[in-house]
Amino acid sequence: MVLSESMADWVDWDQAAYLLGLSLGAITPEVPFSRSKRIFWEDNPAGRGLHAALLALVEGGLLESRDDDEQFRWVATSKHLNEFD
């Protein structure tokens, strides 16, 4: 799953963390969001790590957030990536 495509529109933070986990291979597509919610709603290292990664992607300019980090979407363009050339 390509994160830029799955997060083209605004998604809630827990869905964004789920999509990030899918794109990293940490969560398999056979485990639907409805069966993995506890990863994000309970205090555990995996959920905290995925949320911290989302915030790092915001800081890096690849995602944007709104409503106090309650929603995220992909905003990266080739311009972001070309800045490192």
The answer to whether residues 20 and 72 touch, using CB atoms and an 8 Å cutoff, is no
Instruction: Look at residue 80 in the predicted model and tell me its pLDDT.
Output: 55
Q: Can you say how many angstroms the Cα of residue 35 is from the centroid of all Cα atoms in its chain?
A: 17
Residue 62 has pLDDT above 60, yes or no: yes
* pLDDT for the residue 10: 96
How confident is the model over 1-48, as pLDDT tens digits?
A: 789 999 999 999 999 999 999 999 999 999 899 998 889 889 999 999
Q: Which domain holds residue 68?
A: 3-82
Query: Which pair of tokens denotes residue 25?
Result: 């291979």
Give the CATH number of the domain where residue 12 resides. Answer: 1.10.10
Adjacent-strand bridge partners of 63: 74
- Owner of token pair 């997060």: 7
Is 65 within 8 Å of 71 (Cβ atoms)?
A: yes
Instruction: Name the domain count of the chain.
Output: 1
Report the candidate in 16, 17, 20, 18 with the shortest Cα–Cα distance to residue 2. 20
Mean pLDDT value of segment 55-59: 95
